[in-house]
Amino acid sequence: TNDYKELARLDFAHQLHPQYHVSDHQDPVIYERGDGALLYDVNGREYIDGLSGLWNVAVGHGRVELAEAAAEQMRELAFSNSYVGYANVPSIRLAEKLMSLVYSNMQAVLFCNSGSEAVDVAIKIARYFWYLQDKPEKNKIVARKEAYHGGTLGATAATGLPPFHVGFGPLAPAFVRAETCYPYRCGHCAGANDCTLACADDIEKVIVAEGPETVAALIAEPVHGAGGVIVPTPGYWPRLREICDRHDVLLIADEVITGFGRTGRWFGCNHTGVVPDVMTVGKGMGSGFPISGLISTDEIVAATPFARASASSSSYGGNPLAAAAALATLETIVDEGLVEHAARVGARMLDRLRAMQERYSFLGDVRGAGLLIGLDLVRDRATKEPLEREVTERIFTEALRRGLLLMGYFPRVRINPPLTITAEQADTGLAILDEVFATVAGEAHAR
């Protein structure tokens, strides 16, 4: 049996955690098992997993289908590399399955292990594309504020959230920052209904100022995830496509979070009618197994004949174990209609959260697509001044205490349960959140 105190002591002594110093976290929740949208810690406490692990456990915890697919594959063939001249059956089948789900002009996938790695490879492919056309100087990457693209050096430089940069400089060169579309906090327009797309025009200004002959690609998430689930206005992505076309800049859609039904459609770009040149995918594709990929259009594949060999040599890219589990994940998403389910349950959750806005003045904005939901917490609706940090933190600790896992990027809260969450479980989660808000509102009032 697992003894909590002993495990917590060992964790404190011997394990480093990426997002906080371990001294801030002496009482970690130590998970032991899961079942669908529920998690259980080593003390037997139950939690609603409002994070899907980390946006990735798409088909829920404890899936026998995935366990069997992985176990069977391990018995059959533990590993083979996917370098030039070698392939394995599950990765070929997975590649075929993926191509049936994405846009018809997408031709091929390069498998990697994490979203960050896929982003780095996407950046390399974009540069390589222009290099092969005798334009090696066309190498800058335009990335946006509020974006999170990962923790490797390239992905860190593409990330537009300042806390992820502090202390890690100098950042990789040739990344240029532009504005994003943040309807609730737009500096240009009065709100989503009046959007003039001046935010997209800022991207064009940046490209023109840098010189389009020096810009390889624009990378963007269809909906910002880690930055706080920021949903752009409807015309935004078509405008990005136009700008990229006008200046011969590749458009990389980072679908690491938005892929595989998270937003209620198969991919985030499906909401926009836009076809990117390159897509990065990960997280939900493996529902917990580490696997990611970079998917390119036929044009990119044709223009970069050796890219698959030279862009990324990663031992585990395309490994049969993760591929078999990802194939089982995608089949489960299809067989159980989870994309449509996510759209339905997500819409219901958004309605309920919007109704809560009437009762809690600090719920400044409620937004989302499918089961990718975000809240912007404010002190004052008129000024939109962020809610105090300690009040925001109270919301997270109170939710955890009551059995609901949430995460945030201050002062924004993210809610993204597994795609399999039932309507009843979603209601229970929101009832807990309602209690948390009432408690915190009472305390704020008392002060």
* Residues in touch with ligand PLP (CB under 6 A): 114-116, 119, 148-150, 221, 225-226, 254, 256-257, 282
Instruction: Provide the minimum distance between the beta carbon of 265 and ligand PLP in the complex, in angstroms, as a whole number.
Output: 16
State how far the alpha carbon of 348 is from the alpha carbons of 284, 402, 424, in Å: 21, 22, 11
Alpha helix positions (H), 282-337: 298-303, 307-310, 320-335
Q: ∠ CA 257-263-268 to the nearest 5 degrees?
A: 70
Q: How many CA atoms lie within 13 A of 249 on its CB side?
A: 31
Instruction: Provide the minimum distance between the beta carbon of 90 and ligand PLP in the complex, in angstroms, as a whole number.
Output: 20
Output the residue with the shortest Cβ distance to ligand PLP: 115
**Closer to ligand PLP by Cβ: residue 114 or 139:** 114
Beta-bridged to residue 420, according to DSSP, are: none
Instruction: Provide the minimum distance between the beta carbon of 190 and ligand PLP in the complex, in angstroms, as a whole number.
Output: 28
At residue 321, the 3 state secondary structure works out as: helix
**Closer to ligand PLP by Cβ: residue 289 or 362:** 289
Instruction: Provide the minimum distance between the beta carbon of 191 and ligand PLP in the complex, in angstroms, as a whole number.
Output: 25
- Matching residue, tokens 């990119």: 300
**Closer to ligand PLP by Cβ: residue 224 or 247:** 224
Residues 6+ apart with CB under 8 A from 69: 324, 325, 327, 328
Instruction: Provide the minimum distance between the beta carbon of 402 and ligand PLP in the complex, in angstroms, as a whole number.
Output: 26
**Closer to ligand PLP by Cβ: residue 175 or 437:** 175
The two tokens of residue 440 are 């915190």
**Closer to ligand PLP by Cβ: residue 150 or 264:** 150
**Closer to ligand PLP by Cβ: residue 405 or 432:** 405
Cβ(373)–Cβ(406) under 8 Å? no
Instruction: Provide the minimum distance between the beta carbon of 119 and ligand PLP in the complex, in angstroms, as a whole number.
Output: 5
Alpha helix positions (H), 81-136: 89-101, 115-131
**Closer to ligand PLP by Cβ: residue 114 or 297:** 114
**Closer to ligand PLP by Cβ: residue 256 or 426:** 256
The two tokens of residue 276 are 């990117």
- Matching residue, tokens 């540069």: 127
Cβ(370)–Cβ(284) under 8 Å? no
Instruction: Provide the minimum distance between the beta carbon of 302 and ligand PLP in the complex, in angstroms, as a whole number.
Output: 26
State how far the alpha carbon of 134 is from the alpha carbons of 248, 382, 386, 433, in Å: 14, 53, 48, 56
Residues 51 and 49: their CA atoms lie apart, in Å, by: 5
**Closer to ligand PLP by Cβ: residue 113 or 425:** 113
- Matching residue, tokens 């996407």: 122
Instruction: Provide the minimum distance between the beta carbon of 280 and ligand PLP in the complex, in angstroms, as a whole number.
Output: 6
Instruction: Provide the minimum distance between the beta carbon of 439 and ligand PLP in the complex, in angstroms, as a whole number.
Output: 30
Residues 6+ apart with CB under 8 A from 428: 48
Residue positions counted in the chain:
447
Residues 6+ apart with CB under 8 A from 162: none
Cis peptide before 411 (omega within 30 of 0): yes
State how far the alpha carbon of 426 is from the alpha carbons of 63, 263, 348, 423, in Å: 19, 16, 9, 5
Closest CA to 257 of 109, 58, 20: 58
**Closer to ligand PLP by Cβ: residue 346 or 425:** 346
Instruction: Provide the minimum distance between the beta carbon of 181 and ligand PLP in the complex, in angstroms, as a whole number.
Output: 15
**Closer to ligand PLP by Cβ: residue 195 or 257:** 257
Instruction: Provide the minimum distance between the beta carbon of 290 and ligand PLP in the complex, in angstroms, as a whole number.
Output: 8
